[in-house]
Amino acid sequence: MISKIHRLFLPFLPLLFSSALALGADHVTIACVGGKAYPSPTTPAIESAVLLIEDGKIATVAPRSQIKYDLPQSAQKLDCKGKVIVAGFWNSHVHFETGWQDAANVPASKLEAHMQEMLTRWGVTSVWDLGSDPNNTMTIRRRVEAGEVSGPRIQMAGDIFPKNGHPVYLPPEMQLPEAATPGEAQQMAQQYMKMGLDGIKLFTGAFMGAKPTVNMDTAIVKAAVNVAHALGKPVFTHPQNRTGVDNALAGGVDILAHTIPTEGQYTAEELARMKRQHTALIPTLTLWTTVVQDPAVADQLVQAGVNELKQYFSEGGTILFGTDVGFQSKYDTTQEFEFMGRAMPWHDLLACLTTNPSELFKATNKGRVEKGMDADIVVLDADPATDVRNFAKVAYTIRAGKIIYSGPKKSQ
Ligand SMILES: [Zn+2]
C-alpha cells in the first residue's frame, strides 16, 4: 500500500515543490543560462548568471547557484556559457533614410532584413531617428510595434533648418522646412509635436560646401526649444561649427548630435556651459571617416572628435552612443567603439549605450539588467571589459522579451 501511494504521488512531488519556490517560473519565456552578466556600468559582474525573462520583463538575474528550482520545460533556453549579458543598446543618432523609402509597401521580410543589417545585429533595441521623412519612419515604427517586423523601439525628431540653409549633401529637390523667424520655427515645432513626433532637431549650422556655413539665430533656436520643452520633449542639434554649438547652447538645446572636429576643440566656456545645462554629446566619430576622401584628413577629423569627446567626458559630461547610420552606410559599430574607447573606459562606453540614454530620455524601465526592468538585452560573444570592440560581437538581441536577432550558430 505504502509503495502504491509513493508511486502515485512521487511524480507530483517535484511539481508541488518547485511551484512553491518558483513563484511563477512557469511563465518564464526565455532563460539565458551561464553567462557573465553586467547589471549596469557601475555594479559588479555576476559570474555564471541565470537571466529569466517573463512577460517581456526581467524576472530574475542571479548566480546559477541561487536558482533553487528547475527551469520550466516551456522556456526557451539560451546557452550563454562564455558569453556576456548586458542591457539593450541605444543608438541615439540614426536615420531611416538611405534604402528605407516607401516603407508602407516593402515586404516585411525585406524590411526586417534591412533592420537586422543596420541595427538589430549590433545589439540595438532603441533608436532615435534624427531626421528622415516623418511619415515613412512612422510607418516603419507602426509595422515594428504591430509585430510584423522585428526591430528596435523607434523615437523620432523633426528637423528644422535655417533660412537658405539647405545642406549641400542633401538632394537639392528635397523639400526642407526652413525657419526664417522665431514664429516660423515655433509653428514647425508645433506641427511636429501634433504629428506625434518625440523631439526636434535643429540645424544650428548647415554645411554649404565651399560656401560659408549657414547658422541658425539663437532666437529661432529658443522658439523651437520652448515648444518641445513645454511638452517635456528633447531638442537635438546638428551644430557644424563653433557658432552652431554656441547658438544651440544659448537657446537651451539638450543634445549635440555631433562633435565639431573642424574646430579642433571646445572652449572652456563651452564646456562649462554644456556641463551647467546638462547638455549631452553624441560624438559620431565614424562619420568623420565617411565625409572626406583623403584618409589623412579623415584621421585628423577623427582625432579632433576624440579630443572633444575626451574634453567633455573628463568634465563629467553626459555622452550618448550614436553613429548616424542610415545617412552614412558603415553599419558595423566596431570602429565607433574603437574610437570612443580612445577617450573613455569600457564601462563608461556601456553607460553611453544603456544607462545614459535611458536616464536622459526618461525610459526608467530600460538600461539595466535588473529584476522588473524591460527585457531589452544584448548577449555578447566576448567580454567588452577586455576589448571595447567586443561590444559589436552580438550573439542575441532581445527586446521586450522577444529575440529580435540571433547570430549564426558557431560550430564547436
Ligand atoms: Zn544625422
- State in Å: Cα 327 to ligand 1 middle: 6
- State in Å: Cα 60 to ligand 1 middle: 37
pLDDT of residue 23: 45
Pairing state between β 76-79 and 28-37: parallel
- State in Å: Cα 3 to ligand 1 middle: 73
- State in Å: Cα 87 to ligand 1 middle: 24
Dist. CA 258–CA 276, nearest whole Å: 19
Q: Give bridge partners of residue 94 from the DSSP assignment.
A: 129, 325
Dist. CA 233–CA 225, nearest whole Å: 9
Torsion of CA 166, 336, 98, 205, to 10 degrees: -10
Burial class of residue 365 (count of CB atoms within 10 Å of its CB; 0-12, 13-18, 19+): middle
For residue 200, what is its C-alpha cell? Answer: 526636434
DSSP secondary structure code for residue 87 in this structure: E
- State in Å: Cα 154 to ligand 1 middle: 15
Pairing state between β 205-206 and 214-215: antiparallel
Cα atoms in the Cβ-side hemisphere of radius 13 Å centred on 195: 22
Pairing state between β 402-406 and 255-256: unpaired
CB 176 within 8 A of CB 131: no
- State in Å: Cα 179 to ligand 1 middle: 19
- State in Å: Cα 125 to ligand 1 middle: 18
pLDDT of residue 67: 85
Pairing state between β 205-206 and 76-79: unpaired
- State in Å: Cα 129 to ligand 1 middle: 8
pLDDT of residue 72: 77
- State in Å: Cα 366 to ligand 1 middle: 24
- State in Å: Cα 201 to ligand 1 middle: 10
pLDDT of residue 312: 98
Dist. CA 184–CA 161, nearest whole Å: 11
- State in Å: Cα 131 to ligand 1 middle: 7
- State in Å: Cα 64 to ligand 1 middle: 43
CB 108 within 8 A of CB 148: yes
- State in Å: Cα 324 to ligand 1 middle: 5
Residue numbers of the chain with a pLDDT score lower than 50: 1-24, 411-412
- State in Å: Cα 32 to ligand 1 middle: 35
CB-CB neighbours of 209 under 10 Å? 9
- State in Å: Cα 94 to ligand 1 middle: 6
- State in Å: Cα 202 to ligand 1 middle: 11
pLDDT of residue 134: 95
Dist. CA 123–CA 111, nearest whole Å: 17
For residue 276, what is its C-alpha cell? Answer: 551647467
pLDDT of residue 70: 78
DSSP secondary structure code for residue 120 in this structure: G
- State in Å: Cα 124 to ligand 1 middle: 17
- State in Å: Cα 281 to ligand 1 middle: 13
- State in Å: Cα 403 to ligand 1 middle: 28
> At 362, which amino acid appears?
K
pLDDT of residue 409: 67
CB-CB neighbours of 354 under 10 Å? 27
- State in Å: Cα 326 to ligand 1 middle: 8
Contacts of 330 (CB under 8 A, 6+ apart): 286, 289, 290, 323
Continuous H helices in 119-256: 134-145, 182-195, 218-230, 242-250
- State in Å: Cα 108 to ligand 1 middle: 25
The DSSP result for 31-81, as a single string, is EEEEEEE--STTSPPEEEEEEEEETTEEEEEEEGGG--SPPPTTSEEEE-T
CB 104 within 8 A of CB 57: no
Alpha carbon of residue 11 to chain centroid: 48
Dist. CA 138–CA 144, nearest whole Å: 10
CB 36 within 8 A of CB 85: yes
- State in Å: Cα 369 to ligand 1 middle: 29
For residue 106, what is its C-alpha cell? Answer: 516593402
- State in Å: Cα 320 to ligand 1 middle: 14
pLDDT of residue 26: 57
- State in Å: Cα 255 to ligand 1 middle: 13
